[in-house]
Amino acid sequence: MSRSQTNLGWDVLLDVSGPGADQLARALRGAIRDGVLRKGATLPPSRRLAGDLQCSRWVVTQAYAQLVAEGYLEARAGSATRVHCWADEVWRPVPPKPAPVPPRHDLAPGLPDLRAFPRKRWADAVRDALSAAPHTDLGLPTAGGHPRLRTVLAEFLHRTRGAVTNDVLVSSGVCHGVTLVGRALHAEGITRIAVEEPGWTKVWRAAEEAGLEIVPVPVDPGGLRVSDIPAGVRAVVVTPAHQFPSGVVLSPERRAALLSWARDVDGVILEDDYDADFRYDRKPVGTVQGMDPRRVFLFGSVSKTLSPALGIGWYVVPPQWTERVPKAAPSVVNQLALATFIEQGSYHRYLRAARLRYRARRDALLESLDPLTVSGAAAGLHLVLPLDTDASEVVDHAAAQGLKLVSMDAYRTRPGDPALVLGYGNLADSSVTDAVAVLKDSIGRSGSGS
């Protein structure tokens, strides 16, 4: 058909899968969207099109009327029906990209053992929560979280982490909580925030999304070097229980120095309770928040224990900030399920079994890595492997053989000593030996080795 907008659209071949008005409307709509029928094109009279399609005239008039109502066609008394409005350029919906093929072996940090997710117990918790929930709980989510989960989390954090709080706000994860708190800080004139270098870059981006400027501060074997926080900075985000990615624990002296710094500058501490549930040499250290609840925001989630797919996290806010911090409203069903999961003791039993599983996997990994030297093995779900060869080359060689690795530089603002961050949370037990064999081969191919 000619591209002139005044030409007739009578000779268009329509793909009509049935005789109904809906099928005809769908075919005409598709022809307009695909540019086959251009803006201004004249459609055949209903009687003629009905004859061509061997259907009733009613089918055609109903299809035309539907597209007129949607704005695709215009019909004026005494005039032909014309294509009224559609984009000048042909637009075709782009299908979503297929999910990436998972690596054969996964030594990247950041995920728990997804194979061990307690599917049945979680499904039971969802069923029990929905069975007991009043119909009012199925309405719009309450900003700040469902009162039941907030109460359960407050008791849980007090009992297991030494937190001091009567209330907990619910978010969709740690990064979400940091963004919400960051917005409140920015509104109060705190526009810069110190972050650990190296550190968890997703938290950095969350702070930047809130409008904060990140200020990297070095980490050494004692944790964050508090004395290096620049003048004028009044907020800092830290991972005291198990620093990511170095694996160090914030020393008692640095804890005291950090709290003293916050009081001196009238500042705040954003404590990410990262990996606090997984300690293998002794009981986990308590929160910094418990030492000064008026200066410390506490963040946590089930993303590193159960699964990030649940989208549940929490943040404890100092009382004077409660009204100033934005509130979130995650899925009520998952909130009630987590409350049930904790109340029934399922979460405690899962964590206890997970510690044993991760410790055994860590031991197997350390044995396979011998004689390579690693650090950060006392807690968490990752190790640090120093290299004396280019880490990016090792990562590339390993990827070609189906092993996913991450360089330490991925968590720095500038390149540093070459090292790998080896996460074993989502590594299958049966893959440990093969994964390490590929790792050692990649190191050997990239240089003189570790």
pLDDT at 337 over 80: yes
What confidence category does residue 233 fall into, taking pLDDT thresholds of 50, 70 and 90?
Answer: very high
Kindly state the DSSP code that residue 36 receives in the 8-state scheme. S
Instruction: Name the token pair of 153.
Output: 């989390």
Nearest-angstrom CA–CA distance, 411 and 247: 13
Predicted TM-score (pTM) of the model is 0.85
- Provide the pLDDT for residue 6: 43
- Provide the pLDDT for residue 5: 38
**pLDDT tens, position by position, 381-401:** 999 999 999 999 999 999 999
Please give the residue that has the higher pLDDT: either 99 or 262.
262
Which residues are 298's β-sheet partners? 271, 316
Kindly state the DSSP code that residue 100 receives in the 8-state scheme. P
Nearest-angstrom CA–CA distance, 81 and 46: 9
In this structure, are residues 262 and 193 in contact, taking their beta carbons and an 8 Å threshold?
A: no
What confidence category does residue 91 fall into, taking pLDDT thresholds of 50, 70 and 90?
Answer: low
- Provide the pLDDT for residue 195: 98
Residues 16-28 as b or e (16 or more Cβ within 10 Å = b): beeeebebbbbbb
Nearest-angstrom CA–CA distance, 331 and 320: 27
3-state secondary structure of 205: helix
Q: Where are the alpha helices (DSSP H) in 344-426?
A: 346-369, 391-400
- Provide the pLDDT for residue 40: 84
Using alpha carbons, list the distances in angstroms from residue 47 to 16, 51, 54, 82, 274.
17, 6, 10, 16, 71
Instruction: For tokens 């070459």, name the residue.
Output: 418
Kindly state the DSSP code that residue 8 receives in the 8-state scheme. B
Nearest-angstrom CA–CA distance, 239 and 249: 8
**pLDDT tens, position by position, 120-175:** 999 999 999 999 999 999 999 999 999 999 999 999 999 999 999 988 999 999 99
Q: How many helices (H) and strands (E) does the chain have?
A: 12, 14
Residue 179 φ/ψ, nearest 5 degrees: -65, -45
**pLDDT tens, position by position, 347-358:** 999 999 999 999
Quote the mean pLDDT of the chain: 91
